[in-house]
Amino acid sequence: EHPELKPLTAEDMEQIRQAAYEEGFAEGKEEGFGKGYAEGRQQGLADGTAQGLAEGKKLGLSQAQQEIDDKLTQLTALLSQLQQPLSGLDQQVASGITELALAMAKAVIGVEVTTNPQVILQAVQEATSALPLQTEQMRIKLHPDDLAILQQYYSAEELQQRHWQLRAEPTVERGGCLVESEKSSVDRSLTQRVNTSLEHFLHQASTSD
């Protein structure tokens, strides 16, 4: 025998509706939370990754720029250190070239001095001509070998007429002489003559550039 079904009252209807609402809310809450958590987690990871990449890139660029600045600073300092020695090196090279030219010229002239007596004769003439005409007495200091050459070209009488007193001076290089009077002196040593010729040559070279 089937139980008798009682008609639902308004109170019964309200209880059923409330129960259904609460059950649906619970299921919806659970489903929504799970879905929202998953989506939120995925979005959070995506956002976090994007933010991390952006911040990492920004940090990397900052570090790279700092490294570049450091390298530029080091390079600037290095170039500054190199520039100063280079400027000094130019002077050293010029000085070295001058000394080399002097040595070569003296070597060439030195060979000529031993084979050509005109070298010392010209030096003496230049030196004596540079002194005032009214000079009464001139002392000519020259290498003993050159002194012997002059004595071969000028007799004692000619030397006296020219007011020349020849003095042997071993410290004077061959091919040159020192001429002294009471009030002045003239240096026609080999080194001085080569220096004068070289300076004249360098001056002409610089003015022609």
On average, the pLDDT of the chain sits at: 69
Q: pLDDT tens for residues 151-183?
A: 998 999 999 988 899 999 999 888 888 999 888
Q: Report residue 86's pLDDT band, with 50, 70 and 90 as the boundaries.
A: very low
This prediction has a pTM of 0.44
Of the CA atoms within 13 Å of residue 24, those in its CB half-sphere come to 6
Residue 120: pLDDT band with limits 50, 70, 90 = confident
The residues spanned by each domain of the chain are 99-208
Better pLDDT: 113 or 146: 146
Place of tokens 């929202």: 36
Q: What is the pLDDT of residue 155?
A: 92
Question: Which helix (DSSP H) or strand (DSSP E) does residue 123 occupy?
Answer: helix 118-130
Amino acid making up residue 179: V
**CATH fold for the domain made of 99-208:** hypothetical protein PF0899 fold (3.30.2320)
Percent share of the chain, pLDDT over 70:
35
Strand boundaries in the chain, DSSP class E? 138-142, 164-168, 177-180, 185-188
Q: What is the mean pLDDT of residues 69-78?
A: 57
Listed as own residue / partner, the contacts of 125-134 with beta carbons closer than 8 Å and 24 or more positions apart are 126/188, 127/177, 127/178, 127/179, 127/186, 127/187, 127/188, 128/162, 128/164, 128/179, 128/186, 130/179, 130/186, 131/179, 131/181, 131/184, 131/186, 132/181, 132/183, 132/184
**Nearest to residue 166, comparing CAs of 146, 184, 188, 196?**
146
DSSP assignment letter at 175: T
